[in-house]
Structure 1
């Protein structure tokens, strides 16, 4: 097979007690990197991600001798797909109305096989080994699925987004890191200003590395507004936070050193601050998606 789950052992199998149907999840990044149940697939050749996902999920179904459900977030086509895969290799997609209704019961069932905190541990292990691409893709997969299940403002969703922002920073992708960190800071500012301070600081650290003039100006305006809110609330108690706020203010006043003309600061009103995350919307699942439909007795060779 041109791909595999790593490592392959019984510890990777979903819990047999998961009810009412064993549920896995999968994620396809925009670059084609593919994750199944918290494990990055080692892709080979030109095999498309949907085929790799179906093979991996069918392996679980055959091993367990029972149908398996899988929720796929495919960023390459910006769509969610909900699958049913059987031990004989057959598969189909279902509509949202055919699944458990969104809520605690479905979330519990989906997270029982491989809990989020166990996935965070795996991400940390990759990061400690400097496997930053793997760590980043796994973090993105975790954040996407937690956001789909629990909403962007859920505590676990926010933590996953913060981890993803940190890993993007480690990889030198400061644009992505700034966007992710700003979303966390934005949500914190709307719910708990006390917890917003470190998040605004992290977003500022990434923003300071930006080189794109438009990004510096747009993101800087929002950061400046956040620092001013925190200052007005008397929450800038650390000298480092005062210094970061001043850094943003000074850079906005003089314009980006990488820009041709100054970009003056323009404080945003509370009504102008976008609360929602910047994630590109995903098309909902629907029945009969051909790329995830197979007849039974398909060979993996």
Structure 2
């Protein structure tokens, strides 16, 4: 399909009925770091993330000679945007109900051309080169999109969150690492207790680096509940895990905050409470978002 043949409406915008050939994803971190399809974009000068995203996706559309769909998670404004970008450089946003319905069909379409495991390999490559910022942003983008598509409890979403937690630890952000790792542990305790101990151990390792006493207490009490539940179920088998469980209790006792008994909080009880309460909610997509709308013939990199 050529750009000249793209159907248009009365406002000379591409018609919504023009089918996208492929579906991409993009991510804007709170600090403005921008990712398109698992690649961190170079943001020179005063270039805005929305312009960089539209330029990158328009290149796909021109190469294919067909419309391209894209889902953008923009943490700088806490919103999801669903786009259609066309070979002539024009673009528009659509409402969620104008896209494929949520579920397996949409997920399969969004992941078909760019499998998540290929992105994990790229994250690992950045980490091996000690490019920890790039690795962390790519891991965050992967986790955000997998969670949006599949839900926080999906296996791939959990693996991406665990990778993100580990990279946060390597970067020295122990608070964020603890929060991310605790979410993984919390979900494992709900859905597959037999696999929970290693995740609780990872969360404990990050928690042991915390200095904020309030966070030490709050997060430590949840960890203690998890360890005690594992012990009650006969799943505290590894000596290293037993030592970690004791370390949590000892640290809390030093501050008079140890929790007596085995009464598990809602965070680790199946079916109760949010599984990822620290995940900040995103505003849903809607039509007509100006920052992602371009008229035909817009030159690459031009000012908004």
TM-score (norm 1): 0.89
Task: Tell me what 1:25 maps to.
Answer: 25
Task: Tell me what 2:3 maps to.
Answer: none
1:272 is the counterpart of 2:266: yes
Task: Tell me what 2:212 maps to.
Answer: 212
Asked whether the 8 Å contact 2:20–2:67 carries over to 1, the reply is no
In the TM superposition, residue 193 of structure 1 has moved relative to its aligned partner by 0.9
Count the aligned residue pairs. Answer: 277
Task: Tell me what 2:59 maps to.
Answer: 59
Superposed counterparts of 1:243-262, under 5 Å = 243-255=243-255, 262=256
Task: Tell me what 1:291 maps to.
Answer: 291
Shift in CA distance, 267/134, structure 1 to aligned 2, threshold 3 Å: farther
In the TM superposition, residue 263 of structure 1 has moved relative to its aligned partner by 3.8
TM-score (norm 2): 0.89
Asked whether the 8 Å contact 1:70–1:82 carries over to 2, the reply is yes
1:169 is the counterpart of 2:169: yes
Q: Deviations over 1:91-149 (max 9, x none)?
A: 00000010000011110000012100000000000001100000000000000000000
1:84 is the counterpart of 2:84: yes
Q: Deviations over 1:238-290 (max 9, x none)?
A: 111110000000000102xxxxxx54446674353244112100011000001
Secondary structure, counterpart of 1:270 in structure 2:
coil
Asked whether the 8 Å contact 2:229–2:262 carries over to 1, the reply is no
Q: Deviations over 1:63-112 (max 9, x none)?
A: 11110000000011110000000000100000001000001111000001
Distance in 2 (CA, whole Å) between partners of 1:268 and 1:213 is 23
Task: Tell me what 1:132 maps to.
Answer: 132
Asked whether the 8 Å contact 2:20–2:84 carries over to 1, the reply is no
Distance in 1 (CA, whole Å) between partners of 2:261 and 2:44 is 50
Q: Deviations over 1:9-65 (max 9, x none)?
A: xxxxxxxxxx96310000000000000000000111111101110111011111111
In the TM superposition, residue 189 of structure 1 has moved relative to its aligned partner by 0.2
Secondary structure, counterpart of 2:70 in structure 1:
strand
Task: Tell me what 2:13 maps to.
Answer: none
Secondary structure, counterpart of 2:82 in structure 1:
strand
Secondary structure, counterpart of 1:26 in structure 2:
strand
Secondary structure, counterpart of 2:73 in structure 1:
strand
Asked whether the 8 Å contact 1:221–1:268 carries over to 2, the reply is no
Q: Which blocks of at least 5 consecutive residues in structure 1 are unaligned? A: 1-18, 256-261
Distance in 1 (CA, whole Å) between partners of 2:46 and 2:52 is 11
Task: Tell me what 1:192 maps to.
Answer: 192
Task: Tell me what 2:141 maps to.
Answer: 141
Distance in 2 (CA, whole Å) between partners of 1:241 and 1:200 is 9
Distance in 1 (CA, whole Å) between partners of 2:230 and 2:265 is 16
Distance in 2 (CA, whole Å) between partners of 1:30 and 1:20 is 29
Asked whether the 8 Å contact 1:221–1:267 carries over to 2, the reply is no
